[in-house]
Structure 1
Amino acid sequence: MTETLDLVVITGMSGAGKTVAMQSFEDLGYFCVDNMPPALLPKFWELVKESGKVTKIALVIDLRSHAFYDEIIDMLANIENTVFVTTKIVFLDATDAELVSRYKETRRSHPLAMDGRLMDGIKKERELLTELRNRAQMIVDTTDLSPRQLREKLFVAFKSSSHPTFHIEVMSFGFKYGLPIDADIVMDVRFLPNPYYIPEFRNETGLDQAVYEYVMDQPAAEQFYNQFYKMLASIMPAYQKEGKTSVTIAIGCTGGQHRSVAFAERIGKAFGTEYAVDITHRDINKRKATVNRS
C-alpha cells in the first residue's frame, strides 16, 4: 500500500460525545470502528493494507475496553511509528458536573462505576485517560457544545475538498407509483401539458432532447423553474447550517417519465455548479399496461 493511511483515534471521557464524533467522521468519509479489541488490530491493519481501498479510518477507543488499556497504549505507540499511517488523536472532554448531568439524563451507568458512585467512576476514568489526553493533538471540551456544534467543529477540522460533506439528491418520480418516502422536498409538475399525449413523445422520456424542449417551452415552465430554483437555492445553506449532510428533492409527474425527468435534469445540473449532486429517475423505465399518463 503506497498511499498514506489517515487514522483518527477518537477517545475521551465517557459521555463527552464520542458517538456524535464517530457519526460525524462517518459522514466525512472515514471507515469507523468502534472499540475494536487491540488483539484484533494487527490483522485489521493487514486487511487494510491488502485492500488498498480504505485510506481514512476512525477508531473509537474508550474505557469500555479498560481490561485492554495497556495494550491500547502500546498499540498507539506502534502506529505512530508506522511510516504509512498518519495518526491524530481527538480527545473529547467535559466538566465533571456536565458528565454527571448527562448520565443522570440518560440513566446510563458509567463503565467504571457499575457497583459504585458515578463520581468515583468519572474520577477513575480521568486518571486512566491522562496519558491518552497528553498524547492528543486535538482536545475538544464539549461542556457547552450541542451535538450539532460538536459536529461542525469536527467538520471544520477534518473535512477535505475530495469528500464533500453536503450533497443534493434530485429525483424524478411518478405519483401513480407512490411518493418517495425518503424525500425532503416534493414538487408536483403535473400542471404542465403532458407530452404523453403527443404521439411522437409517448415512448420517449425527459432525457430525450425533443421532449425536454417541449416541456421547457411551455409558458408556465420558465416562471416555475425560476421561482422553484430561487427558493431551493435560498434554503440549502440553512440545511447545511442545521448539520444535514444531504437533501433529497423529489419532482413528480403522473408516470415519472417526461415532465418530472426534464425538470429533475435541469434542477440537478443547475445545482451541480455549486454542490455535489446526484440525479436519479426512479420510475423512468416503468410502463404499465394501463394508460400511462406521465
Structure 2
Amino acid sequence: MTQSADSRLLLVSGLSGAGKSTALKVLEDLGWEVVDNLPLALLDALIDAPAQRGEAARPVAVGIDSRSRGFRPALLVKRIKELRDTGGRDIQTLFLDCAGAELERRFSETRRRHPMAEDRPAADGIAREREMMESLRRWAEHVVDTTKYTSNDLQQEIRQRFADIGDDEPVLNILSFGFARGLPRNADLVFDMRYLRNPHWDAALRPGTGLDPDVAAYVAADPAYETTVAQIESLLLALLPRYRAEGKSYVTIAFGCTGGRHRSVHVADRVTKTLRTAGHRPTLSHRNLDSAPQDGLEGKPPPASPAPGGSS
C-alpha cells in the first residue's frame, strides 16, 4: 500500500560543511515541513504531533547532526529501526558526505570554525566527526557526496530525489552571478542585467546587495526596469509549460550583472517570487553575493551629471 505524503519523514544529516543547510532549503521549497538541529529527545514528539486543523499534511524533513543536543548516531539508528517496525512512518535518511580536503577549503573560505574543533585545525574536527558519523552513513538510504558539487548541483540532486513522485515539473533553478567572475555552467537561459543603472557607483549602496531594500529600490527606479523585467517574467511563464511538455528535466535561469551583487541579485529574487506565485517551485541561489565589491571589475563609472547652472 502506498503511504501518504504526511507519513514521509526524512532525516537529513552528514558532515559539517557538506551542504545540509542547502538541502533543507530545497526541501522547504518543495513543500516539506523542515526542522533543523532538533534535539534527539524531541524526535518522537515531532513524529506524533498531528497536523493543525485546516492545514494540509506535509512530509517532514528533520536536520540532525553533530551539533544537535543529545546526538548519538548509534542511538539514532536504533530509534529509526523501532519507528519503522511500528509501520506508522515512511522513514528515510539522507547523508551528505564530502572529501576532507574540500571541507577544509570550505571552512577556510568561510572563516568558520569546525564545530568539533573549536580550538584546533579544522582537519582534526573533520576526522573526529567522520569517525563518529560512520554508522549513520552506512545506514542511510541516500548518500550524496558533495565534493565536486556547486550549490546549484546539490539543489538539482535534492530536487531529483525528493520532488513528489509523478510530478513532471522540471527542476527549476534561478541563479544570480557576476559576468566579471565567469559565466555559470549549465545555464539554459542567461539574462544580462547590465543595462540597468549600477548601485556599485553609489558609495552608500556599494556595501549592500540586491536583497537590501534601498539597493532594490535604486535598481527598480531605472526607467527601463519595470517594462523589461515584466517582459522577462512573461517570457518565462510562457516557456516553462513548453519545457514541461517537452519532458525537460532541468531548467536553470541565470541573471547576470557585472559583479553579481546588486542588479542580478535583485532581479533574480523578484523573478523567483513571481514564478512561485504562478505555481512553480524554483530554488534560488546567488553565486557571487558574498564576493567583495571591486571597482576594477565594474568598468567605468557613469558620467557625472553637470551641476545646476554649470556648463554642459
Scaled by the length of structure 2, the TM-score of the pair is 0.55
- The answer for the alignment partner of 1:131 in structure 2 is 135
- 1:61 aligned residue (61, 64, 68): 64
* Displacement after TM superposition at 1:166 (Å): 5.6
* 1:233 lines up with 2:238 in the alignment: yes
Cα distance in structure 1, aligned partners of 2:44 and 2:121: 37
Counterpart contact for 1:166–1:246, Cα < 8 Å = no
The alpha-carbon distance between structure 1 residues 43 and 248, as it changes in their structure 2 partners (threshold 3 A), is: same
- The answer for the alignment partner of 2:310 in structure 1 is none
More helix by share: 1
- 1:34 aligned residue (16, 28, 36): 36
Q: Which ranges in structure 1 are unaligned for 5 or more consecutive residues?
A: 168-179, 189-224, 250-267, 278-294
The alpha-carbon distance between structure 1 residues 122 and 66, as it changes in their structure 2 partners (threshold 3 A), is: farther
RMSD: 3.9
Cα distance in structure 2, aligned partners of 1:12 and 1:56: 20
The alpha-carbon distance between structure 1 residues 159 and 231, as it changes in their structure 2 partners (threshold 3 A), is: closer
- Percent identity reads 30
- The answer for the alignment partner of 2:48 in structure 1 is 46
Cα distance in structure 2, aligned partners of 1:20 and 1:135: 22
The alpha-carbon distance between structure 1 residues 46 and 101, as it changes in their structure 2 partners (threshold 3 A), is: same
* 1:186 lines up with 2:191 in the alignment: no
Cα distance in structure 2, aligned partners of 1:87 and 1:21: 17
- The answer for the alignment partner of 2:84 in structure 1 is 80
Matches within 5 A, 1:1-294: 3=4, 5-48=7-50, 53-65=56-68, 67-69=70-72, 70-160=74-164, 161=166, 186-187=226-227, 233-234=238-239, 240-242=251-253, 246-248=272-274, 276=280
Cα distance in structure 2, aligned partners of 1:65 and 1:231: 41
Counterpart contact for 1:31–1:54, Cα < 8 Å = no
* Displacement after TM superposition at 1:53 (Å): 4.0
* Displacement after TM superposition at 1:235 (Å): 8.1
The one-letter amino acid of 1:241's match is: T
Counterpart contact for 2:38–2:69, Cα < 8 Å = no
> For the pair shown, which has the larger CA radius of gyration, 1 or 2?
1
The one-letter amino acid of 1:112's match is: M
- The answer for the alignment partner of 1:280 in structure 2 is none
Give the number of equivalent residue pairs: 203
The alpha-carbon distance between structure 1 residues 80 and 163, as it changes in their structure 2 partners (threshold 3 A), is: farther
The alpha-carbon distance between structure 1 residues 187 and 114, as it changes in their structure 2 partners (threshold 3 A), is: same
Cα distance in structure 2, aligned partners of 1:31 and 1:163: 21
